[in-house]
Amino acid sequence: MKTNNTAWMPQPGSQTAFITCPYWEVLYEGTRGPGKTDALIIDFLQNVGKGYGSAYRGILFRESFPQLTDVISRTKKYYTQVFPDAKFLGSNGVNKWVFPDGEELLFRHMKRADDYWNYHGHEYPWIGWEELTNWPTIECYESMKACNRCSIIGVPIKYRSTCNPWGAGHGWVKQYFIDPAPAFTKIVNSSGQIRIRIHGSLKENKILCKADPDYIKNLSSIENVQKRKAWLEGNWDIAAGGFFDGVWDPDKHIIEPFKVPTGWKYIISLDWGSQKPASLGIWAKSNGVALPDGRVFPRGSIIRVKEWYIVERDSRGRTIPDKGLKLTNEEMAIGIYDLTKDLDVIQWVADPSIFRDQSGPSIFKQFSKVRRLPFKPADNERIAGWQSMRGLMAEAAKEIPENPGLWVFKTCREWIRTIPSLLRDDKDMEDIRTDMEDHIADETRYVCQTVRPPLKTQELLI
């Protein structure tokens, strides 16, 4: 973007790729520092002064209003250099740029999905999301797509976002943008729409590296290994700032499936859901005898060998995070029975709420009308359950486990997708945030409470 002097030019690499990307839905992700925020605010500016006038409106979101301060400051650095007559209106909650031909860019915060109704019916040809992994679910991001439109033919329509690995939304962003395809590769949905991710590296930002040569060293000195991998390397295969930092090791916990020995028993765990997902875990319990390949799982260890995550999926079978399938309880009971009828099950543990009569028969009684599923109420003490789960995971992460541990078949993709990204509750660091996709975690802690007593607080790896 230029006036008499150059106000801003994209640097070669990811910045240029993002600014010039022709597709509707684009995420700019990667390490800290490649210049993602600058690229995002300039992306909107590209179509100002092109004759679209007041039809070209944009809105840029952060999760909370204080988080917008830096973004607004950056726009002030560039926008009046490019458009000297542009005005920033920052009083009485307005917070928007108005350009000479009538174009506007609004700055807003959106905390929860219901906030969408503040914008229902609006038209914004350009929508931007800064730090997309701040949102714990996809709901806000998905809802605002309904407003990404324009009634005037020819106005460019763009849906843009930025983020690093890490944060409450790490899991859903990874599933939606990262896992389906490598960076710079088109992902085509069932309607033929294209989304793509642009991966950026700090090393591309020659301006920053020259101005602050110690910045890379600063990131390298971060003691938290997971955070260092996220921010320095842009690595998405991490426990994202999570509750299980210090005990989660995918190289140790995720294992190739094997034929479960005849002498092993099973534990079945259930976290019920309808509007939200339900989760059934099938866990093999080791009797301590070596496998044919010589591996030994200490007696009492649990291995997640199969799962049924009862959740909505798109036309390609991909999970729509946190959307339940809304099965009837009778349908769920039949499904559970079919998955477990041939197993030697020694324990059945379920969310205690399914045993309560409310406006009618309890969920458990509704199960029993069609199939006998001998569930018992699980120990639902959250803190104690998470302690037990962390203890089992810590044991499994050892080079040579001596006590019961927890492992997961690599085919249990939903467990692997959701568990590492769960975050601590800001108000109680020994608990998990309840606004995250924690249904699988809940049924896992039910099982862990049957295997291992909770660790003492001083034993926890905080």
Q: Of the spans 46-60, 87-101, 176-190, which averages the highest pLDDT?
A: 46-60
Q: 0.85 exceeded by the pTM?
A: no
- Which domains does the chain possess? 14-233 (3.40.50.300), 250-459 (3.30.420.280)
- The H or E element that residue 192 is part of is none
3-state secondary structure of 36: helix
422-462 pLDDT per residue, tens:
888 878 888 998 888 899 999 999 999 998 654 444 444 33
Pick from 54-63, 223-232, 370-379: least confident: 223-232
Question: Are 243 and 424 contacting, i.e. CB atoms less than 8 angstroms apart?
Answer: yes
172-201 pLDDT per residue, tens:
899 899 999 999 999 998 889 999 999 999
Examine the pLDDT at 5 and tell me if it is beyond 70.
no
Residues 6+ apart with CB under 8 A from 33: 202, 205, 208, 215, 219
The crossing angle, in degrees rounded to 10, of helices 36-45 and 68-82 is 50
Q: What's the first-to-final CA gap in the chain, in angstroms?
A: 47
Pick from 329-338, 383-392, 402-411, 421-430: least confident: 421-430
CA dist 369 and 357 (Å) reads 15
Q: Are strands 187-188 and 194-200 parallel, antiparallel or unpaired?
A: antiparallel
